[in-house]
Structure 1
Amino acid sequence: MIAQIVTLAGVLIGALTSYVSVTMGERAKHRRTMATRWDDRKLSTYIEYAACVKEVADASKFARMADAGSEAHHEFNTAMEEGERRRSALFEALVMLAAPPAVAAAHEVNVVLWEMERQAREHRPLPVTGNLHERLNTYHERARADLGIDQNAWRTP
């Protein structure tokens, strides 16, 4: 009788151990899957935001260069406004998904871009204050850090 109880206890302990190990493994797999899914979404959002910023910047540059009141000036202003609406929505996605340093860098990009847009609307051909390229480079660095991309991996010594 004692041998049967010991055997039954061994089977129960083995089943419980098997259940716990499988459950822990599945939970870890689920966490990795979710982390990968969010990283993919973050990467897409980072890329879309940067591309949209460049489109708006180009439209503002061409609007500043076009003759004031011309059809081309109006078209570039319209493109700039449409791009600004899209950039605003993408920035909101960044706020939801990105790490705070990346969001802060994107905000700095926004500030420079808004100044570019203001100058384009006023048709001021003067150079824009602030450097969009420097701000975008900082944004890219912060995005790579958030995604865990080793920034020195591709650099040669």
Structure 2
Amino acid sequence: MATQIITLVGVLIGALTSYFATTMTERTKLRHLMATRWDERKLDTYIEYVSCIKEIQRAAMDAGRARDEGEDASAALALMEEAENKRSVLFETFVLLSDEKAAAAAHAVNQRAWELLRAARRPSNGAAPLRSIPLVETLNVLHEAARSDLTITGNAPASR
């Protein structure tokens, strides 16, 4: 009878060990899956946000160019405003998903984008004043912060 009890205790210990090992493995897999899922969402948000900033920049430059050439800039200004509305919404997601460094860099990009928007909205300004706003430099800082947040290593080319 003692050997049966020892055998039963051994089976019980084996079952518990197997259960805990499986549980720990599944938790680790779930944590990894969740981290990967959020990293994918972060990457998508970062790409959308930066693309939106580029749309604002392009439309503002087109508006300035149109004014310099004496043409109607309303279509470019409408595109710029549409991109700004989209940027505003994307920024909230960006801040929710990013780390502090990337969020701070995005705040700096917002400041430069707003300067660009103000300059493009003024009828007297042309493309030359718009070019003086250092948006590209702040975007480069944002790219670096986003790469760090996503733990992407290696050298990246500067944005254009």
Q: Distance in 2 between matches of 1:92 and 1:23?
A: 36
Aligned residues between the structures: 153
- Aligned residue in 1 for 2:75: 75
Corresponding position: 1:61 with 2:61: yes
Identity %: 52
Corresponding position: 1:142 with 2:145: yes
C-alpha distance 78-153 of structure 1, shift in aligned 2 (>3 A):
closer
- Aligned residue in 2 for 1:127: 129
Q: Distance in 2 between matches of 1:37 and 1:12?
A: 37
Gaps of 5+ in 1: none
**Superposition TM-score, scaled by structure 2 size:** 0.90
SS of residue paired to 2:9 = helix
Instruction: For 1:148, give the aligned amino acid.
Output: T
Q: Is the 8 A contact 1:144 1:151 kept in 2?
A: no
Instruction: For 2:95, give the aligned amino acid.
Output: V
Q: Is the 8 A contact 2:116 2:133 kept in 1?
A: no
- CA displacement at 1:152 relative to structure 2: 4.5
Q: Distance in 2 between matches of 1:143 and 1:14?
A: 46
SS of residue paired to 1:151 = coil
CA RMSD after TM alignment: 1.8
Gaps of 5+ in 2: none
- CA displacement at 1:71 relative to structure 2: 6.9
- Aligned residue in 1 for 2:118: 118
The worse-fitting range, judged by mean Cα deviation, of 71-80 and 14-23 is: 71-80
**Superposition TM-score, scaled by structure 1 size:** 0.91
Deviations, residues 98-156 of structure 1 (Å, cap 9, x unaligned): 011001101111111111110111031242454111100000000000001113499xx
- Aligned residue in 2 for 1:151: 154
C-alpha distance 41-90 of structure 1, shift in aligned 2 (>3 A):
same
Q: Distance in 1 between matches of 2:133 and 2:65?
A: 19
